Amino acid sequence: MKVNTAFELMANIFASEERHVLLLLGAPGLGKTAAVSEAIKRAGLEQMTLALPTCDAVDLRGLPRVENGRTCWASPMPTSERGVLLLDELTSAPRDVQVAAHHIVWSESGSDMNLPKGWHVVLTGNRASDKSVYQSIGAPLRNRMTIIEIEPDSKVWCDWAVNTEINPLVVGFIRWRPELLVSREIPGEGAFPSPRSWHNASRYLGMGTTSDVEKELLVGTIGEGPATEFAAYLRTARELPQVNAIMNDPENAPVSTSPSICYAVTSLLSNFTRQSLKSAMAYVKRLPAEYGVLYLTDIRDKFDLKSDPEIKAWVGQHRRLFQW
């Protein structure tokens, strides 16, 4: 299941008063935890998060105390009416912590580890093939929840990245080479690409370092192969006319036939329009139509498309391309 589909699913589930238990499984860095937290925030619910690899079983059950000659447990579980308990990194947790998590998920009658009725439980974890610290999940626990495997989606990630602080050169590169968003096989050591590591790589661009230092930083963030390709892409993209030069003479500024460069220019211009609220359609319309669609998709939530005559004319000529 794609991350955005899982997000929509959680939005529906969190609106329900009936408890649900989900386990989101997937490679490191896909944004599982971030998607859960954002879905909880959008639902306006209380969130309690436990990073299970850092927990002992007592952190889930609570400390024991004696009352009237009997042992009771000071449960750390929430007592408010509604919310979501996020149990993060279940598959990296020690076995006794997984057992404690099982008792919370089970919510058996009479247990001192019960959650209030209006609380959902979401767990996250990696797979055995992801080369993480891994503990298999016992069958009884797996049988008490819905397991959803999260898959990467470069288009969804780029759409998200456009609306964040991700450098547009990173967005352009991933649009050109979507297979490099996530490593096909996670190496036994060293860095590798993922949505999280590309986010980190974006922060190193424009720091004013030399190209050699920048390349080393990229290798240490996304791995040798992707960093080599991205560095070559950056060298070419940075030789393009600056956005200001394009906007000063959009009808005559040079237009490349290289797909990689077209993706880079489109991402840079959509970022310009989102920030300045000035249309770049006079130049974009000179690119192949697919980049025009991409440009309009990127800016439509920030820029009034109907206010620009050139955009209206271009859309009228290319209506068959739109499936919004």
Q: Would you place residue 163 in the very low, low, confident or very high pLDDT band (cuts 50, 70, 90)?
A: confident
Which among 107, 134, 149 is the end of a domain? 149
Q: Would you place residue 78 in the very low, low, confident or very high pLDDT band (cuts 50, 70, 90)?
A: confident
d(CA 271, CA 145): 42
d(CA 62, CA 46): 20
Segment 229-246 shows an average pLDDT of: 87
| Residue among 4, 101, 92 nearest 61 (CA) | 101
9 and 57, same structural domain? yes
CB 266 within 8 A of CB 296: no
d(CA 255, CA 278): 20
172 and 144, same structural domain? no
H/E element holding 158? helix 154-162
149 vs 63 pLDDT, higher one: 149
AA identity, residue 213: V
Give the number of C-alpha atoms closer than 13 A to the C-alpha of residue 110, restricted to the C-beta side: 0
210 and 278, same structural domain? yes
CATH number of the CATH domain containing 114: 3.40.50.300
d(CA 38, CA 189): 31
Give the number of C-alpha atoms closer than 13 A to the C-alpha of residue 1, restricted to the C-beta side: 19
Instruction: Work out the percent of the chain whose per-residue pLDDT is above 90.
Output: 54
58 and 14, same structural domain? yes
Query: DSSP letter at 27?
Result: -
Rg (CA), the chain: 24
| Residue among 225, 224, 202, 153 nearest 182 (CA) | 153
CB 98 within 8 A of CB 134: no
Range of the domain at 103: 3-149
AA identity, residue 87: L
Stated pTM of the model = 0.80
pLDDT at 109 over 70: no
d(CA 227, CA 279): 33
159 and 144, same structural domain? no
| Residue among 143, 118, 90, 116 nearest 19 (CA) | 118
d(CA 262, CA 176): 9
Q: What pLDDT shows up at residue 299?
A: 92
Per-residue tokens: 152: 């990467």
245 and 135, same structural domain? no
160 and 145, same structural domain? no
160 and 271, same structural domain? yes
d(CA 71, CA 64): 6
| Residue among 3, 53, 43 nearest 24 (CA) | 3
Which among 97, 132, 149 is the end of a domain? 149
pLDDT at 209 over 80: yes
101 and 180, same structural domain? no
Q: What pLDDT shows up at residue 145?
A: 93
Q: What pLDDT shows up at residue 111?
A: 62
- How many structural domains compose the chain? 2
Q: What pLDDT shows up at residue 16?
A: 87
259 and 181, same structural domain? yes
Residues contacting 4, CB < 8 A, separation 6+:
153, 156
